[in-house]
Each structure stands twice: as structure tokens, then as C-alpha cells.
Amino acid sequence: MPDGGLIRKMWMGEAHKYRDHLLRLDTESRTRRFGGGVSDDCIRDYVDTSMWFDTIVHGFFVDGMLRGAAELRPLCGTVTKEAEAALSVETEWQGHGVGSALLERTLLTARNRGITHLHMACLAENRRMQQLARKFAAELSFSFGGVVGEVEAAHPTPLSVVREMVSDGHGFATAVLEAQSRLFKVT
């Protein structure tokens, strides 16, 4: 993980940070994140309409700026508890383990929500995402020219619940300290 980087869950009032991060992705990363080319307006609508009620987003922050994110979105209408995960890391921070750390936290959260299947859709040529999914024992199967990685998450244990609580507590404390230090710089 790059120096000074922090991963924590994002809050409802931070949707604008997620939107701006997605807008900053370079063309190739944006295409890979959304499985095709999308306009700036599409990204704005996406964040406005589909975020925050049952979606959990982990953010990777450097100096208070969101540089990477992992979205966990439960899929409605499925008998088994299934969810979709999507990752994005800005170009300058790719290849430093941020994606791996984000996916690890997302898997822990999914596990503690009893989600048994986690789908990660990515384009067939997205070798980096496939390599990342493989690291977490994902099984890849081809469908409609794309690749769907499915991870079977284990059931929650007291330890996995505590691990998430400790991570959340640490993330919250660091975010408060960061906000305070920004306030002192302004005043």
C-alpha cells in the first residue's frame, strides 16, 4: 500500500467524492470499470441514483483525496444472498496493492453480511482484474465475451465480525483526525 494511504468505509455524505473519483479515471480504466465507454453524465446519474441505501463502498484515501474504491451492491430478487463488486483505482495508484487491499475488505464485509456469492464482471482483456480475482480464489467463467468472477464467501464468524469492527473503528478515528487537522490548517 502506498505511504499515507488509508482504506475505510465511506459515508452517505461522501457520494460527491465517489463521483469525482470515478470521473477522474482515465479512459481505459473507466471502460474497464463500467464494462464499456460511459459519459460523465452517466457517471453522475449512476452515483446519484444507485448509491448509498444498500451499497457499501470502501474508499482508498491519500491526504483526504479518494483515489480508489470498492463497491459492494447486493443483488435484489435472488434466492441465495448474492452481491456484485466493482473496483476502481486511479492510474497513478494502480499496481501498488490497493486493489488487493480493497477486495480483501470487501470480501470481509460480504462474508459478515452472509453473502454467499460475489460477482465481479470484467472485460475479457482485463488481465489485472482477473489476476486480482484469482488471488482470492475466484473461479472465472466466460459469458457474452466478458468474464464473470464469482467468489464464494465463507459464513461469518465472531472473529470476522470483530475484524470488520476493528477496521471500521480505525477508519473512523483516522477520518476524524484528518478532518480536525484540515480544520486547524484553515483556521
Q: Which residues bind ligand COA (CB under 6 A)?
A: 29, 32-33, 86-89, 94-100, 120, 122, 126-129, 131-132, 135
Closest CA to 46 of 34, 37, 32, 57: 34
From its phi and psi, is residue 35 left (phi > 0), alpha (psi between -120 and 50) or beta? left
Closest approach of ligand COA to the CB of residue 75, in Å: 15
Instruction: Compare residues 135 and 182 and give the one whose CB is closer to ligand COA.
Output: 135
Instruction: Compare residues 4 and 158 and give the one whose CB is closer to ligand COA.
Output: 4
Closest approach of ligand COA to the CB of residue 24, in Å: 11
CA distances from residue 186 to 179, 180, 181, 182 in whole angstroms, order as listed: 11, 10, 9, 6
Instruction: Compare residues 84 and 156 and give the one whose CB is closer to ligand COA.
Output: 84
Q: Within 38-157, where are the H helices? A: 40-50, 98-112, 127-135
Instruction: Compare residues 78 and 131 and give the one whose CB is closer to ligand COA.
Output: 131
Partners of residue 84 on adjacent β-strands: 73, 119
Closest approach of ligand COA to the CB of residue 20, in Å: 15
As to burial, measured by CB atoms within 10 angstroms (0-12 exposed, 13-18 middle, 19+ buried), residue 154 is exposed
The beta strand positions in the chain, using DSSP E, are 5-9, 56-62, 65-74, 82-89, 117-123, 139-143, 146-152
Closest approach of ligand COA to the CB of residue 176, in Å: 26
Angstrom distance (rounded) from CA 113 to CA 127: 29
Q: Give residue number: closest CB to ligand COA.
A: 99
Instruction: Compare residues 24 and 96 and give the one whose CB is closer to ligand COA.
Output: 96
Closest approach of ligand COA to the CB of residue 90, in Å: 8
Angstrom distance (rounded) from CA 147 to CA 124: 5
Closest approach of ligand COA to the CB of residue 58, in Å: 12
Instruction: Compare residues 87 and 175 and give the one whose CB is closer to ligand COA.
Output: 87
